[in-house]
Amino acid sequence: MGIRRQQASAARRGGMAVGGGFMAVMVVLACALVLMLSGIIPVFGRSETVDRTQTPVLQRLTKLNQFKAASGTFQVIVDVEKDTQGLPSILAGERTLMVAAGEVDAEVDFSGLKADAIVVDEVNKSVVITVPPPTLTKTRIDNSKTRVYSRERGLLNRVEDFLADQPVDDQPLYVQAENEMSTAAQASDLTGLAKQNTEDMLVAMMGSLGYSDVTVIFSADAPTAPDQPVDISGAG
């Protein structure tokens, strides 16, 4: 009798284990069915791929901020003569020759580009980038290469300079030199060279990311962030 009771107890425990395992499997299947119906787990035999990859070049471009695409070195001779009407130049008058040198950069502002400035076709591995056109910076006078070559003054001017607290003021000469070099930079092909260098840089950058067809568009209507401050303090 004792043996039969033990066998019956073991059978009941085995049945409970099988029943418990079956219930666990049913619970897992029920959960999976709910997840499938809710779309969390895709139905067997059907899958969907969603590409949420962000455009990788945008962050690189905005980090460039002001891209110095080209730089031009200019030299100008400023020749200014002041005459006093009715008096000979030996008595009154002044003529100054200044040799001035400076640089003007052509820069492209990437700091405010929005995502729609870059259109990527992953299938054809092509990309179209729309950026603002290059702009010329203010002329930077190179003081180490700028000097007054000669200065001729009449006798009255010499006396006046001797009595004055600040005998000579060459600031107007520097201002004129900056204006002359700015005009020369605008008449040069500095912006054209800047466009070519910018395009070459972008093509090389996108090529390193796997894009073989790169189109660069320079447009004054390039999408940029509103009220974006321009910082050129670290340019160059």
Per-residue pLDDT in tens (0 to 9) along the chain, 236 residues: 555 555 555 555 555 554 556 666 566 566 665 555 555 545 455 556 655 554 566 777 777 778 899 999 999 998 877 756 655 555 555 778 889 999 999 999 988 888 888 888 888 889 999 999 999 999 999 999 998 887 766 454 555 565 556 566 788 889 999 999 999 999 999 999 999 999 999 999 888 888 899 999 998 876 665 444 333 233 33
CA distance 7 to 53: 64
Coil, strand or helix at 23: helix
One-letter amino acid for residue 37 of the chain: L
Strand locations in 17-137 (E): 66-83, 93-109, 118-121, 126-131, 135-136
Residue that is written with structure tokens 């209507």 in the block: 221
Q: What is the DSSP letter of 42?
A: P
Give me the helix-helix angle, 190-208 and 56-64, nearest 10°: 140
Backbone angles phi, psi at 196, to 5 degrees: -65, -45
Q: Distance between CA atoms of 234 and 236, rounded to whole angstroms? A: 6
pLDDT at site 201: 92
Closest CA to 112 of 61, 68, 69: 61
Report d(CA 22, CA 31) in Å as an integer: 14
Report which DSSP code applies to 138.
P
220: Cβ contacts below 8 Å, ≥ 6 apart: 132, 133
Cα dihedral value 61, 185, 140, 219, nearest 10: -20
